[in-house]
Amino acid sequence: MHIKLNNISYSYANNEPLFTYISFAVSYNKTALIGDNGTGKSTLLKIISGEIIPNEGSVISEGSIVMLPQDFSIYNNQTVAEVLSIKEKLSSLENILVGNSTQFDYEILNEEWDLPERIKDIFCEAKLEEINLERRFDTLSGGEKSRLLFASLLLNKPDFALLDEPTNHLDTDSRNILYSLIKNYRRGLLIVSHDRELLNLMDEINELSPKGMKTYGGNYDFYKEQKQIEREAALNTFEALNQQHKKSIKEKNAALEKQAKRAAAGKKKMKTGGIPKIAKNYLQDNSMKTLTRLKDSHSEKIETINSKLIAAKEKLENSNSLMIDLNSSEIPSQKMILEVKDLNFKFGDSENFLWKENINFSISGSERWSIAGINGCGKSVLLQLILGKFHTSEGEIKLHSKNTVFLDQNVEILDSELSVYENLKNYSDKFSEEKIPEHELRIRLARFLFRGEDAFKKVKVLSGGEKIRAGLACIMASGTMPELLILDEPSNNLDLKSLEELTGTLNSYKGALLVVSHDKRFLNEIQIEKQLVISRTEKHKQIFY
């Protein structure tokens, strides 16, 4: 059982192609669809589900397909039973059990006599035991909504399910439950995701790029290994061709120089040798033909190598990485950066504190901290208190950092109507002690992969990863490194390439770091040392790695 896509092409309304002639198959297993933002992954899911008609090509499916929406708001006015499509079946079952049934009730129930038991088992597996079937969908938390929709797959058993970024905006606990559900799922799954923990549960990775679709027969770690092998092979090919190119040019020049010396020697001999004019003309013409053949032969060889060299260079383009020289030294380990003592907070006129227990923690030197906890526990509130956006209701915050910078997932420090270069210039003029010349600003932008015309792109047209790069470029532009960098869910909505870029940037930063993120792999890769786990109803915890 599988889904086959044959030569699928799709264009925007202005006829600009999004992708062309995409062919691949989705097997009856767990398959991921990855690629840079804007390559058309979500559109491809909608084509497979039948929501969008492609301009060319066909989709052939051997089974039923269900697509879970990214936007859950379409279910807001429904009950849990309605979302699961079981309301009528449960009503018919009740009519049958109380002896008030019709033939129509038996047809609706379709012999699903064990439906209540199945619902109970599935809700237990999805950690939804406390959820009543009559409860409105819009009263559920984000994690409960995600798990309920996945429970609908377990209940209704489509042959294939399509999921678009299913773990986005979920807290760690909700992610772990969803990972378990997906790991144990025994039907076809096609998932668009940048969540590397989730991608490691996949049987197959399909990578969509402007060059087409490429399939890797394993999970994310296998995909990464293969990409590294491809990169090394591409680099070796490029270097070998580059050497051939230089050698061919050298050989051409040497051959032409040798032929020129022969021609000069022959010309000298003709002047002194008493050779008839007709013979001289023949010899000169023959010499010119030899030179032309020599040039053409070497030029053709060089052109062939050059074409291969250009193709090899294109294969290396996707392995660009951030090249940042921050020219900064680490903060002394004994220097206090942030102190939070007996902190608590009340909203407005509320009589109740946000947290049952006051918060205490401190950051010194170049320590790297993360703040964790379930959604709604007050992580973002804590950041706003540290930044001075909210006033403390109890306790105190001492921020000793000379320069603290906050970067949220929307990168609000950037003016969306200005170009990347204009934002950098404005930020530099505001915070730098000396005016930085344009060529130096362009060099700094190039370190963040904004080269050539990319430096003059409007911020509003940038992808999520590009915005974060632009924001970091501005932060680093002043020449005065921030002693404390605070990030709120920086990895949300980033594609895999952008995640790698962000990770590389943060690992080159030598100041103190405070991050809110539910992405366990991201936190490991940016070398988080300590974690504060906060809770509204229980004691807070500090974890040291």
Q: What integer is the mean pLDDT of 471-489?
A: 83
Which H/E stretch holds residue 10?
A: strand 2-11
Q: Are 400 and 337 in contact (CB under 8 A)?
A: yes
Residue-level pLDDT at 24? 93
Residue 268: count of CB within 10 angstroms of its CB: 10
432 belongs to a structural domain: yes
> Looking at the structure, do residues 372 and 497 belong to the same domain, yes or no?
yes
Asked if residue 331 is part of any domain, the answer here is no
Decide if pLDDT at 470 tops 60.
yes
Q: Cα 520 from chain centroid?
A: 15
pLDDT in tens, 14-24: 889 999 999 99
| Residues 281, 240 share a domain | yes
**Whether residue 163 sits in one domain with residue 207:** yes
Instruction: Tell whether the model's pLDDT for residue 417 goes beyond 80.
Output: yes
Q: Are strands 188-192 and 30-34 parallel, antiparallel or unpaired?
A: parallel
184 in any annotated domain: yes
Q: How far apart, in whole angstroms, are the C-alpha atoms of residue 472 and residue 465?
A: 11
DSSP string, 418-430: SBHHHHHHHHHHH
Residue at token pair 């699903």: 112
Indicate if the pLDDT at residue 317 is higher than 80: no
3-state secondary structure 23-87: EEEEECCEEEEECCCCCCHHHHHHHHHCCCCCCEEEEEECCCEEEECCCHHHHCCCEHHHHCCCH
Residue 153 domain-assigned (yes or no): no
Q: Are 163 and 194 in contact (CB under 8 A)?
A: no
| Alpha-carbon torsion, ordered 274, 275, 277, 279, to 10 deg | 180
Whether residue 537 sits in one domain with residue 412: yes
In a domain, 305, yes or no: yes
What is the amino acid identity at position 40?
Answer: G
**463 pLDDT above the threshold of 90:** no
Handedness of CA 242, 244, 250, 252 (dihedral sign): negative
Q: What are phi and psi of 61, to 5 degrees?
A: -120, 140
Percent of the chain clearing pLDDT 90 (strictly above): 58
Residues 455, 365 share a domain: yes
**Stretch 379-397: mean pLDDT, rounded?**
95
Residue 428: which residues within 8 A CB-CB, separation 6 or more?
436, 441, 474, 477, 478
Q: Which of 287, 534, 492, 504 is nearest to 407 (CA)?
A: 492
* pLDDT score, position 262: 67
Q: Do residues 296 and 252 touch, judged by C-beta distance below 8 A?
A: no
Q: Do 246 and 196 share a structural domain? A: no
Q: Provide the CB-side half-sphere exposure for 464 (13 A, CA).
A: 20
**Percent of the chain scored above 70 by pLDDT?**
89
- Dist CA 96 CA 106 (whole Å): 8
Domain of 460: which CATH number?
Answer: 3.40.50.300
Place of tokens 């890797």: 216
* pLDDT averaged over every residue in the chain: 88
**Which comes out higher in pLDDT, residue 436 or 476?**
436
Give residue 503's pLDDT band: very low, low, confident or very high (50, 70, 90): confident
In a domain, 491, yes or no: yes
CA angle 537, 538, 539 (to 5 degrees): 140
Residues 204-214 pLDDT 10s: 999 999 889 99
Helix, strand, coil percent content, the chain, rounded in steps of 5: 45, 20, 35
Is the Cβ–Cβ distance between 31 and 204 less than 8 Å? yes
Inter-helix orientation angle 220-272/277-316, to 10°? 170
Q: Which residues contact 64 (CB under 8 A, 6 or more apart)?
A: 158, 159, 160
> In Å, how far from its chain's centre is CA 382?
27
Question: How many structural domains compose the chain?
Answer: 3
Instruction: Examine the domain organization and report whether 413 and 468 are in the same domain.
Output: yes
Question: Which residue would you say has higher pLDDT here, 302 or 64?
Answer: 64
Place of tokens 């003709």: 270
Tell me, yes or no, whether 114 lies in a domain. no
Mean pLDDT in residue range 455-466: 86
Q: Give the model confidence (pLDDT) of 78-88 as tens digits.
A: 999 999 999 99
Which of 318, 348, 369 is the C-terminal boundary of a domain?
A: 318
> 359 and 503 in one domain?
yes
- Does 296 share its domain with 346? no
pTM: 0.81
Q: According to DSSP H, which parts of 273-378 are helical?
A: 277-316
Determine phi and psi for 428, rounding to 5 degrees: -65, -45
Same domain, 367 and 501: yes
CA distance 195 to 174: 13
DSSP state of 132: -
- Residues 423 and 286 reside in one and the same domain: no
Q: pLDDT tens-digit profile of 254-303?
A: 766 776 676 666 666 555 555 555 555 554 566 566 666 766 676 777 78
Are 343 and 309 members of one domain? Answer: no
Q: CA 208 → CA 23, 200, 220, 426, 472, distances in Å?
A: 11, 18, 15, 37, 28
Asked if residue 454 lies in contact with residue 416, where contact means CB atoms within 8 angstroms, the answer is no
Residue 190: band (very low, low, confident or very high) from pLDDT cuts 50, 70, 90: very high
DSSP count for the chain of H helices, then E strands: 16, 18
The domain in which residue 256 lies consists of 234-318
For residues 236 and 222, the answer to whether their CB atoms sit within 8 Å is no
Residue 224 placed within a domain: no
Select from 287, 318, 349 the last residue of a domain.
318
Position 519, amino acid: D
CA atoms of 92 and 73, how far apart (whole Å): 28
Q: If you ran DSSP here, which 8-state letter would residue 366 be given?
A: T
Half-sphere CA count of 91, side-chain side, radius 13 A: 10
- Report which residue type is found at 272: T
